[in-house]
Amino acid sequence: SVQYFQWRQSRGSAEKFHGAVVSHRGTEETREFCEVAQVGKTLRTISEIAGTAIYSQVAILMDVNSMWALENSQGFQEDKHYFETMLRTHKSFWKQALNVDIIFPDSDFSRYKLIAAPMLYMTSKETIGKIKDYVMSGGTFVSGYMSGLVNENDLCWLGGFPGEELKEVFGLWVEETDSLYPNDKNAIQLFGKKYEIKDYCEVVHPSTAETLAVYEQDYYKGFPALCKNTLGNGTAYYLACRDTGEFTDDFYSFLCEELQIKKNAVSLSDGATVHVRTGNGKEYFFLENYKENPGIVVLKGRYRDLESGEEVLGEVSLPAFGLRILCR
For 318-327, the pLDDT digits (tens) are 999 999 999 9
CATH 2.60.40.1180 domain span(s) along the chain = 267-327
User: Is the separation of the CB atoms in 216 and 246 below 8 Å?
Assistant: no
DSSP letter string over 267-294?
EE-TTEEEEEEEETTEEEEEEEE-SSS-
What's 263's DSSP letter?
A: P
Mean per-residue pLDDT, 295-316: 92
| Continuous H helices in 140-280 | 166-170, 246-258
CB 94 within 8 A of CB 230: no
In this prediction, residues 243-270 reach a mean pLDDT of 94
- Tell how far CA 204 is from the center of its chain: 25
Neighbour tally for 167: CB within 10 Å: 21
Q: What is 267-327's CATH number? A: 2.60.40.1180
pLDDT beyond 90 at 74: no
What residue ranges of the chain are covered by domains with CATH 3.40.50.880?
A: 58-258
* pTM of the complete model: 0.90
Q: What is the pLDDT of residues 78-99, one digit of tens each?
A: 788 999 999 999 999 999 999 9
b/e 124-161 (16+ beta carbons within 10 angstroms → b) = beebbebbbebbeeebbbbbbbbbbbbbbebeebeeeb
Rounded CA-CA distance 139/133 in Å is 9
Alpha-carbon gap, residue 229 to 264, rounded angstroms:
29
Confidence of residue 235 (pLDDT cuts 50, 70, 90): very high
Measured distance CA(303)–CA(70) in Å, rounded: 46
pLDDT at 75: 79
pLDDT tens sequence across 12-54: 999 999 999 999 999 999 999 999 999 999 999 999 999 999 9
- Look at residue 77 and tell me whether its pLDDT is greater than 90: no
Superfamily covering domain 58-258: Class I glutamine amidotransferase (GATase) domain (3.40.50.880)
β-sheet bridge partners, residue 234: 231
Query: Of the candidates 70, 88, 91, which has an alpha carbon nearest to the alpha carbon of residue 80?
Result: 70
Write the single-letter amino acid at 188: I
